[in-house]
């Protein structure tokens, strides 16, 4: 099984070492990978990619400052994760050997998951989301208290994801969506577009040097502007709205994403999350995107969203039953 | 295609780690259902597919049910096609009824009448790979 970018980095190192030391015996000829480029000379990031991952966002506390597993540890952790997430053991007596979904990959939807030896997607010695500011803690506590008991009052109280407006993990930053964790990148001379299968949004990222929208314009997915730093696409996103909240953030959320194609099958995706009104310091995570065959399919969520009326009618029925028992 | 049938039966299970919505808000774990009926149609709609079945009661009366399944995108990627569960197929379905008491439910397991097992990639406990009771 390919070990994502670490395997590639290892091979590259070995390759360079082989060249540098001019070994006596000539190794079998290997064709070095060449970064593909678009006609305007930028790295070609186009195609279908998956961000399915089995690496947790935050590091388990018992791992302390350990940022990477050894190869042996990683193999054991990966095996355990795949088994737990994909085997039918947890389905009780219906499990049969024929239904061992480990063959299908992480979420039993796609076979390809970019593995990493990282112990957490968040990089650095902490490996965890920094503490929230006292003001943010107060804000969230008040918000939660105001919502309590009113979660099912009407459609407007339901999460945006349930209402088919935006998927909670689609970002930016883009995180694994649990299933259908697929995206397509298309590059033009002045725009890069990222289409995510969940929830079927196309994020248009101007790379023409234009400035962000004025602060008065706020959008669910923010306003993204891109530029190239060497062979890395850097995307800066601001102008978020208070109608969304990334892990407790406010509309002041500022995301910087970095896309670097490191081999034929891998884009290294890194993002830094900053919101001084929420966390005491910025935090950065890194995960490989792995090439998939595609295509991605339409996810017309609103088309058949029977779940929302069912949920509300269930709440009304529960209220009626409660009233009748009084 | 000797392998095909087993493969397709397995494919019905989408096992989403994070369903589109919360199971407990829509369906009632205290109302388990077991239905034997005939497929009338399958809606290939996101965020969830829905299987329509007619169930004949002891008195011969037909009741129509709708059962929620996994995202069509997931089902298709796993090889489940429009022909895999045709109208007229007799199936036995286990799941949980909607909280509002209507003839809707969420599928946990599905088998053909001859006993061949199917799974539904849905939000029901036990169907999505999550441990029961969590």
Rounded Cα gap, residues B92 and B89, in angstroms? 10
Tokens, residue B74 = 């997931």
Which residue in chain A has the smallest CA separation from B46? A301
Position B6 pLDDT exceeds 70: no
Q: With H, G, I as helix, E, B as strand and everything else as coil, classify residue A200.
A: coil
Of A265, A267, A268, the C-alpha closest to A1 is A265
Position A161 pLDDT exceeds 70: yes
Q: Give Dmax over CA atoms of chain B in angstroms.
A: 43
pLDDT digits (tens, 9 = 90+) for A53-74: 889 999 999 999 999 999 999 9
Buried b (16+ CB within 10 A) or exposed e, A284-293: bbbbbbbbbe
The percentage of chain A sitting over the pLDDT mark of 90, rounded to a whole number, equals: 67
Position A148 pLDDT exceeds 70: yes
pLDDT digits (tens, 9 = 90+) for A249-258: 999 999 999 9
Q: What is the mean pLDDT of chain A?
A: 84
- Looking at chain A, list the stretches that DSSP marks H as alpha helix, in order from N- to C-terminal side: 4-20, 71-86, 134-147, 307-324
Position B64 pLDDT exceeds 70: yes
* Residue from B3, B17, B102, B122 to probe the interface with A (highest A Cβ count within 10 Å): B17
DSSP A43: B
**Rounded to a whole number, what is the distance in Å from the CA of A100 to chain B's nearest CA?**
9
CA distances from A176 to A25, A137, A183 (A): 45, 26, 10
Position B40 pLDDT exceeds 90: yes
Of A139, A141, A117, A121, the C-alpha closest to A129 is A121
Q: Which residues pair with A288 in a beta bridge?
A: A268
Q: With H, G, I as helix, E, B as strand and everything else as coil, classify residue A156.
A: helix
Which of B46, B74, B102 lies closest to A109 in CB terms?
B74
User: pTM (2 decimals)?
Assistant: 0.81
**Rounded to a whole number, what is the distance in Å from the CA of B60 to chain A's nearest CA?**
28
Q: What residues in A contact B121, CB-CB < 8 Å?
A: 108
Q: What residues in B contact A298, CB-CB < 8 Å?
A: 46, 73
Question: Do residue A180 and residue B10 have CB atoms under 8 angstroms apart?
Answer: no
Interface of A with B (CB under 8 A): 85-86, 90-92, 94, 96, 98-99, 101, 104, 107-110, 152, 161-162, 164, 169, 177-180, 197, 297-301, 303-308, 310-311, 313-318
pLDDT on residue B119: 52
More confident residue, A228 or A4: A228
pLDDT on residue A231: 98
Question: Do residue B26 and residue A311 have CB atoms under 8 angstroms apart?
Answer: yes
**Rounded to a whole number, what is the distance in Å from the CA of B40 to chain A's nearest CA?**
18
Q: Of A15-24, A158-167, A172-181, A225-234, which has the strongest mean pLDDT?
A: A225-234
Rounded Cα gap, residues B107 and B130, in angstroms? 14
Rounded (10°) CA dihedral A121, A48, A188, A269 = 10
Q: With H, G, I as helix, E, B as strand and everything else as coil, classify residue A30.
A: coil
Which of A101, A298, A308 lies closest to B15 in CB terms?
A101
Q: What is the DSSP string of A60-120?
A: -GGGTT--B--HHHHHHHHHHHHHHHH-GGGGGGG--GGG-GGGG-TTSS-S------BSS
Which residue in chain A has the smallest CA separation from B72? A299
Q: Sorting pLDDT into bands at 50, 70 and 90, what band is A272?
A: very high
Q: What are phi and psi of B73, to 5 degrees?
A: -60, -45
Strands annotated E in B4-127: 27-43, 50-56, 62-68, 90-98, 104-112, 117-119
CATH fold for the domain made of B4-12+25-119: OB fold (Dihydrolipoamide Acetyltransferase, E2P) (2.40.50)
Q: With H, G, I as helix, E, B as strand and everything else as coil, classify residue A68.
A: strand
**Residue positions counted in chain A:** 326
Which residue in chain A has the smallest CA separation from B116? A94
pLDDT on residue A104: 34
pLDDT digits (tens, 9 = 90+) for B87-126: 999 998 888 899 999 999 987 777 888 777 655 544 454 4
More confident residue, A19 or B83: B83
Position A279 pLDDT exceeds 60: yes
pLDDT on residue A14: 38
Rounded Cα gap, residues A100 and A147, in angstroms? 42
pLDDT on residue A95: 34
Decide if B65 contacts B77 (C-beta within 8 A): no
pLDDT digits (tens, 9 = 90+) for A188-243: 999 999 999 988 889 999 999 999 999 999 999 999 999 999 999 999 999 999 98
Rounded Cα gap, residues A156 and A109, in angstroms? 31
Question: Do residue B18 and residue A179 have CB atoms under 8 angstroms apart?
Answer: yes
pLDDT average, residue stretch B27-36: 89
- ipTM for the whole predicted complex goes beyond 0.95: no
**Rounded to a whole number, what is the distance in Å from the CA of B16 to chain A's nearest CA?**
6
More confident residue, B54 or B79: B54
pLDDT on residue A204: 96
pLDDT digits (tens, 9 = 90+) for A24-44: 456 666 788 999 999 999 999
Decide if A48 contacts A291 (C-beta within 8 A): yes
- Give the position of tokens 């965890």: A128
Ordered by start, the domain boundaries in chain B are: 4-12+25-119
pLDDT digits (tens, 9 = 90+) for A76-134: 998 887 766 654 444 443 333 333 333 333 344 445 788 889 999 999 999 999 999 99
pLDDT on residue B77: 73
Q: What residues in B contact A201, CB-CB < 8 Å?
A: none
Q: What residues in A contact B66, CB-CB < 8 Å?
A: 306
């Amino acid at each position: 099984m390919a070990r994502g970018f670490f395997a590639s980095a290892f091979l590259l190192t070995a390759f360079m070492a082989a060249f540098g030391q001019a070994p006596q015996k000539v190794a079998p000829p290997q064709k070095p990978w060449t970064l593909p480029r678009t006609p305007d000379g930028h790295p070609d990031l186009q195609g279908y990619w998956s961000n399915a991952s089995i690496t947790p966002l935050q590091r388990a506390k018992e791992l302390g400052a350990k940022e990477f597993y050894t190869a042996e540890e990683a193999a054991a952790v990966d095996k355990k994760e795949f088994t737990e997430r994909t085997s039918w053991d947890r389905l009780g007596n219906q499990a049969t050997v024929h239904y061992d979904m480990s063959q299908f990959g992480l979420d039993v939807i796609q076979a390809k998951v970019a593995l990493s030896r990282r112990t957490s997607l968040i990089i650095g010695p902490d490996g965890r989301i920094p503490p929230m500011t006292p003001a943010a803690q107060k804000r969230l506590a008040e918000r939660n208290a105001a919502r309590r008991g009113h979660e099912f009052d009407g459609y407007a109280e339901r999460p945006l994801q349930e209402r088919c407006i935006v998927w909670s993990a689609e970002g930016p930053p883009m995180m694994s969506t649990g299933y259908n964790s697929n995206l397509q990148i298309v590059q033009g001379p002045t725009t890069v577009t990222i289409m995510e299968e969940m929830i079927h949004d196309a994020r248009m990222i101007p790379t023409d040097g234009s400035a962000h929208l004025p602060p008065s314009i706020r959008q669910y997915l923010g306003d993204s502007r891109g530029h190239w730093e060497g062979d890395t696409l850097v995307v800066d996103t601001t102008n978020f709205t208070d109608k969304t909240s990334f892990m407790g953030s406010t509309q002041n959320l500022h995301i910087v994403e970095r896309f670097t194609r490191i081999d034929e099958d891998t884009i290294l995706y890194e993002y830094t999350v900053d919101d001084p009104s929420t966390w005491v310091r910025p935090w950065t995570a890194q995960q490989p995107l792995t090439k998939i065959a595609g295509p991605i399919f339409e996810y017309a969520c609103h088309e058949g969203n029977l779940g929302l009326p069912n949920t509300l009618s269930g709440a009304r029925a529960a209220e009626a039953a409660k009233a009748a028992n009084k | 295609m000797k392998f095909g049938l087993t493969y397709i039966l397995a494919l019905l299970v989408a096992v989403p780690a994070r369903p589109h919505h919360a199971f407990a808000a829509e369906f009632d774990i205290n109302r388990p259902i077991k239905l034997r009926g005939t497929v009338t149609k399958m809606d290939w709609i996101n965020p969830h597919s829905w299987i329509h079945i007619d169930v004949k009661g002891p008195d011969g009366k037909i009741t129509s049910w709708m059962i929620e399944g996994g995202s069509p995108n997931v089902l298709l990627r796993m090889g489940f096609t429009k022909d895999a569960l045709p109208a007229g197929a007799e199936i036995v379905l286990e799941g949980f009824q909607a909280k509002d008491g209507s003839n809707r439910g969420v599928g946990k397991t599905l088998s053909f009448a001859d006993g061949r097992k199917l799974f539904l990639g849905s939000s029901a406990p036990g169907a999505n790979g999550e441990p029961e009771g969590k």
